[in-house]
Amino acid sequence: MAAYKSIVILTGAGISAESGLATFRDAGGVWAKYDYRDVATPEGFARNPLLVHQFYNHRRTEVQKVAPNAAHVALAELQAGLADRGANLTLVTQNVDNLHEAAGSTNVVHMHGELLRYLCARCGASGPWMHDLSTDLACPDCARTGGMRPDVVWFGEMPYHMERIADALESADLFISIGTSGNVYPAAGFVAQAYQAGAHTIELNLEPSEGAHMFKERINGPASQIVPAFVRTLLET
C-alpha cells in the first residue's frame, strides 16, 4: 500500500455500534422507533421540547455508559503514527458521541455536532454539557430559559465545518469511509469529491453501503476487526 500523506476518514454509526450504541437507519435502529420529525428537527423542538429533551437526555446517558472499541482505538493510533511520519489525518465523524476522543483521537471534526455539548437557541452559545437538559434551564451565557438544546445538527440544518471538510477532501490522497450507510448527504458525496481530487477511496463497512460502488476498494466485516487490521497495514507501509 502506498505511503499516503493526506488522509481523510469519515466515520458513521457503524463504528460505534459495537460499543453498544444504536445505529439509525438499520432495521431496528433509532429511526425505526422514533419519527425523526418529532425529535430531530427545529419544528419538532418548537412543538414539543419536552419530548425532544427526553429523547436526547436518554441518549446522553447511554453515551456516557459505553467505551470506545478496537476500531476507535486503532484510528487514534493511526493519527499518532501518521503524525510521527509527517503525514496528516483529518477524522470526520457523523456521530455525536465522544468515543473517538475517549480513544485518544484529537481535533475530531464533528459535522453533526456533539451530544455532550449544549447549544442555546436564544444567543447561539455552546459549551460542554454532561447532564440532562430541559426548558427550565438557564443558558450559562445569556441567562435566558427555554432555549437550551443539544448541540447536534437536526434535519433541515446545515452540518458543521463543511468548508474545513471540503478543503481536506481537496488535498486528500486517500479517503476512507467507515461504518456509514452511504445515503445521508452531504457526507454520502464525500467519496465523489475525494475521487475527483485524485484520492484513492476505500470503504470499510459491516456490509456494502448504498454507495459502495463508488469506492475503488471495499472491505466488509465488523469494524472492531477490519479497522485495526487495515490500520496495521497502513502504518507498515
Tell me the per-residue pLDDT of 77-135, one tens digit each, with 9 for 90 and over. 999 999 999 999 999 999 999 999 999 999 999 999 999 999 999 999 999 999 999 99
What average pLDDT does range 162-171 have in this prediction?
98
pLDDT given for residue 34 in this prediction? 80
pLDDT given for residue 51 in this prediction? 93
Continuous segment of H or E residues that includes residue 92: strand 88-93
The grid coordinates listed for 57 are 437526555
The grid coordinates listed for 36 are 425523526
Q: Could you give the CA distance from residue 202 to residue 214 in angstroms, rounded to a whole number?
A: 9
Per the rule left: phi > 0, alpha: psi between -120 and 50, beta: everything else, 17 is: alpha
Residue 25 has pLDDT above 80, yes or no: no
Domain with CATH 3.40.50.1220 in the chain: 6-20+68-112+159-236
List, by residue number, the catalytic residues. 112
CATH of 22-65+115-152, one of 1.10.10.10, 3.30.565.10, 3.30.1600.10, 1.10.3080.10: 3.30.1600.10
Domain with CATH 3.30.1600.10 in the chain: 22-65+115-152
According to the CATH classification, is domain 6-20+68-112+159-236 in 3.40.50.1220? Answer: yes
From the number of C-beta atoms within 10 Å of its C-beta (0-12, 13-18, 19+), residue 2 rates as exposed
Identify whether the C-beta of residue 112 lies closer than 8 Å to the C-beta of residue 159.
yes
**Looking up cell 434535519, which residue turns up?**
155
At 179-229, the pLDDT tens digits run 998 888 899 999 999 999 999 999 999 999 988 999 999 999 999 999 999
Written as one letter, the residue type at 182 is: G
pLDDT given for residue 76 in this prediction? 98
As beta bridge partners, residue 205 has 220
pLDDT given for residue 26 in this prediction? 55
Identify the CA nearest to 225 among candidates 58, 61, 17, 12.
17
Percent pLDDT > 90 in the chain is 88
